[in-house]
Chain A
């Protein structure tokens, strides 16, 4: 493998995890991100994930993994203050990588595919960088960011890194969703009732279609609500869709 190690790679930055409770899985992701960082020739990486549901205004990016050795809060705040809102807006409309140049001399950010990258305002941060937007869909969206003084990946490398960035976030999401699974699996009839309720049927209509009494249907919906740890039928439907029991 033909890769250029940046000078700073020698004094390997200490790896810290923003979320210690996921340390076991996180270390695996960190080593993958470290490798990508080396290949792209950056000094630092950061993985940002979108938190919060609902209105775009209430969503925000949070630092999930990184390899900053010191002043983590300061660096994260600087990055999010400079580009956080722009990144969130970009995630809503495009898949193109974001690129910016840092302040000071000897800073360079350029690629072999200028048309397929979007430039952010330069000179807001002490380092240049490239950020790969990853939008998976309803969940697990975020950015993989690489920062350094000289960021100049070829178009070939960008496509490759973007693919790997997506894979990292997909794997993270897959790992998390396993933990979210309800304690007890829903029965076939509970799932069927929930599906019909989500499709706009009232209990009477569900009862008629399934050949059951209204009370039985309501009982199924009740047990499904309990199993999904929801407070009412509506929340149960929302959770069941997010967890993939119904569509």
Chain B
């Protein structure tokens, strides 16, 4: 099997063979533990186990589908000190939403390191650097932010494991929370259909012909979308729809 040999080098960098035997048991143990948490102990215990797995000290799980103004609404679970969360959550979330759609897609499950501002109050001995891993639970994008002790280096491959397993764990544990806040459900199918044609550059008249309804109806749909999404212009409404991957 030539394919295997030629690819071994590339795969080893984020893969198994190197420390397979040593890591295998740890990962399987973690999955078992998470299974137990999903059944009985709950979200915090599971996140604690994931945090311990990478030897980090504190976790913060946020979701990106709520508007940046909503602030703490976006925080799903955390054991960061409350003042730190209140101080940084808004900034962190806003920073994430400034990334382009494509960059977000390409950054999935890749651990990134960022710095907290000087003012943020931190527990003693914890580094100002923190690690972010983003993943998608269905339509909802979430990020796990990890604090870790100063002068500590986290294992890249373990961080990637944690990305996938937090995704699994959140798929099981946060299902209720995710279904509740679905903004997409606010818009009707017809409204989204109009939006997607307009995003393709069609005018109201053209969309009217395509959908076989009057131009005024189209304009009413768009007005109602702008009202529901609190956008001021048609351009902003389309931009909103693209950002939320509706079109």
A residues at B contact (CB < 8 Å): 1-2, 5, 9, 12, 31-32, 34-35, 38, 53-55, 57, 90-96, 112-113, 115-116, 135-140, 154-156, 159-160, 162-164, 166-167, 170, 173-174, 177, 197-202, 230-235, 237-238, 241-247
Contact = CB atoms under 8 A, between A and B. Distances in A.
A159 B139 contact: no
B38 interface: yes
B109 to A, nearest CB: 5
Contact of B136 (A90, A112, A137, A155): A137
A234 B161 contact: no
Interface size class of B (residues with CB under 8 A): 35 or more
Nearest to A173: B105
B234 interface: yes
29 contacts: A31-B3, A35-B3, A53-B247, A57-B189, A91-B138, A93-B171, A96-B168, A116-B31, A135-B139, A136-B108, A137-B136, A138-B101, A139-B101, A139-B102, A140-B105, A156-B27, A159-B164, A160-B16, A164-B11, A164-B14, A177-B102, A197-B235, A198-B236, A233-B235, A234-B238, A235-B201, A238-B239, A241-B100, A242-B101
Interface in B81-139: 97-106, 108-109, 135-139
> Most chain-B CB neighbours within 10 Å: which of A38, A135, A201, A237?
A135
B35 interface: yes
Interface of B: 1, 3-4, 6-8, 11, 14-17, 20, 24, 27-28, 31-32, 34-35, 38-39, 97-106, 108-109, 135-139, 141, 160-161, 163-165, 167-172, 175, 178-179, 189, 192-193, 196, 198-201, 203, 231-236, 238-239, 242-243, 245-247
B242 A166 contact: no
A243 B102 contact: yes
B210 to A, nearest CB: 13
Given A112-B31, A116-B35, A234 B201 contact: yes
Nearest to A118: B171
Candidate in A136, A173, A202, A246 with the most chain B CB atoms within 10 angstroms: A136
B100 A54 contact: no
Given A138-B245, A163-B14, A243-B102, A55 B137 contact: no
Contact of A92 (B101, B139, B172): B139
Contacts of B164: 159, 162-163, 166
Nearest to A231: B201
Nearest to B162: A159
A237 B178 CA distance: 29
Contacts of A90: 138
Given A55-B196, A238-B238, A238-B239, A38 B1 contact: yes
Given A159-B164, A159-B165, A247 B97 contact: yes
Contacts of A197: 233, 235
A116 B132 CA distance: 23
A1 B27 contact: no
Nearest to A132: B164
Contact of A116 (B109, B168, B179): B168
Nearest to A95: B167
A155 B33 CA distance: 12
A167 B101 CA distance: 17
Contact of B99 (A94, A160, A237, A247): A247
Q: Of residues A34, A234, A235, A237, which shows the largest number of chain B Cβ atoms within 10 Å of its Cβ?
A: A234
